[in-house]
Amino acid sequence: MSDSIERALQRALPDQTVETISPQTTRPGNETAFVTFADSDPVYVKTVTGSPRRLRREIAAVRYAGAHCPVGTPAVVAADSAGDPPYLVTEPLPGTLFNDRWTGDGDREQSLHRLGAVVADVNRATFDSPGVVTGGDADGLELHSGTWTETLCRTIEARADDWFPQRFADLPERLVETVRAVDPVLEGPPTLVHGDPSRINLHLDPTGLLDWERALVGDPAFGLVDAMFHHTGQPDVSEAEQQSFDDALLSGYRDQAGGLPPGFERYEPLYRAVSYLLVPQAFDDWSDDAEAPADELAADVRSEFDTRLAAARETATADPSGS
């Protein structure tokens, strides 16, 4: 860890006496630490080593979601996306980490049902148009607005610009081309989408969501498919389990929202391809722990990516009426 966390603490909480700084695992471009103090409650501190774009988005989204969605969010203690370094200081989110419940003896279908309800609650925040979150606060989000297709393409390109393995450098552009070919159209109002509802970002009892730096405004169906990818589409879920797990998650959404998002079935194949981009993006992180050789794993990733792109492109020529 560099001195960015210490510098952020000096600027955000200059009167506090730091006892411990414990670095946390985070994505490239970020530094995060759990910090304890002599005379006050602990906090999490996040700084960035490159562009503050993602941090600016997270500060805006976490404040906005906390004010407009019935979902727990980390309380912001201090934040400055233009600071040197940029920083976000938050209180720990209460509750049990979803991943602890998942890997323990909890009822997985019940947990997934609650996840579906959380996704639906995030989608309660609606907007006039889709867009990439560029700033804002609890009162409103600043958006780089456009069509949903444009927003999704910008999101893919921005995520690829953050970091992407050279061996998969062609995949983001191929995905963008597929999105443009399908040209998804919103069939309802655009909503807030968390963008990374993984097992380590979700808390239960009470429910809450961490890490809003991938948030966007767009199709709620994309947010739901993305949640399926992060939870039921992982290697530790067997084919025999996946259908019942998917049903539990979708049932939770349906019970909370009164139905699935319009266009969910039509665009699910496209959104499955978009969500899968995280697999090649994080290849260097997970492939080192796998038993198979990296080249073999990379070939499997490409094959699955090709399969998902082909399935997505079929929706470009499908009759929306189903006839």
Give the SS3 label for residue 135: strand
Q: Phi and psi of 48, rounded to 5°?
A: -125, 150
Tokens 């019970």, residue?
Answer: 255
pLDDT by residue (tens digit) across 236-258? 999 999 999 999 999 999 999 99
Considering the chain, what percentage of its residues have pLDDT values greater than 90?
A: 93
Give the SS3 label for residue 25: coil
Query: How far is Cα 56 from Cα 314, in angstroms, rounded to an integer?
Result: 37
Which among 210, 205, 250 is positioned nearest to 227, based on CA atoms? 250
Confidence band for 313, pLDDT divided at 50, 70 and 90: very high
pLDDT by residue (tens digit) across 26-60? 888 899 999 999 999 999 999 998 899 999 999 99
pTM of the predicted model as reported, rounded to 2 decimal places: 0.95
Q: What is the mean pLDDT of residues 259-279?
A: 97
pLDDT value of position 106 = 86
Largest CA distance in the chain: 68
pLDDT by residue (tens digit) across 116-167? 999 999 999 999 999 999 999 999 999 999 999 999 999 999 999 999 999 9
Query: How far is Cα 86 from Cα 54, in angstroms, rounded to an integer?
Result: 11
pLDDT value of position 321 = 57
Indicate the helix (H) or strand (E) that contains 323: none
Considering the chain, what percentage of its residues have pLDDT values greater than 70?
A: 97
Residue type, 154: R
Query: How far is Cα 131 from Cα 199, in angstroms, rounded to an integer?
Result: 26
pLDDT value of position 28 = 87
pLDDT above 80 for 318: no
pLDDT value of position 2 = 66
Confidence band for 315, pLDDT divided at 50, 70 and 90: confident
Query: How far is Cα 106 from Cα 114, in angstroms, rounded to an integer?
Result: 13
Tokens 């444009």, residue?
Answer: 150
pLDDT above 60 for 1: no
Give the SS3 label for residue 56: helix
pLDDT by residue (tens digit) across 81-117? 999 999 999 999 999 999 999 999 889 999 999 999 9
> With 0-12 CB in 10 A as exposed, 13-18 as middle and 19+ as buried, what is 6?
middle
Give the SS3 label for residue 234: coil
Mean pLDDT across the chain: 95
pLDDT above 60 for 322: no
Confidence band for 220, pLDDT divided at 50, 70 and 90: very high
Query: How far is Cα 211 from Cα 62, in angstroms, rounded to an integer?
Result: 8
> With 0-12 CB in 10 A as exposed, 13-18 as middle and 19+ as buried, what is 45?
buried
CA 40-43-49 angle, to 5 degrees, is 140
Query: Regarding beta strands 191-193 and 202-204, do their DSSP bridges make them parallel or antiparallel, or are they unpaired?
Result: unpaired
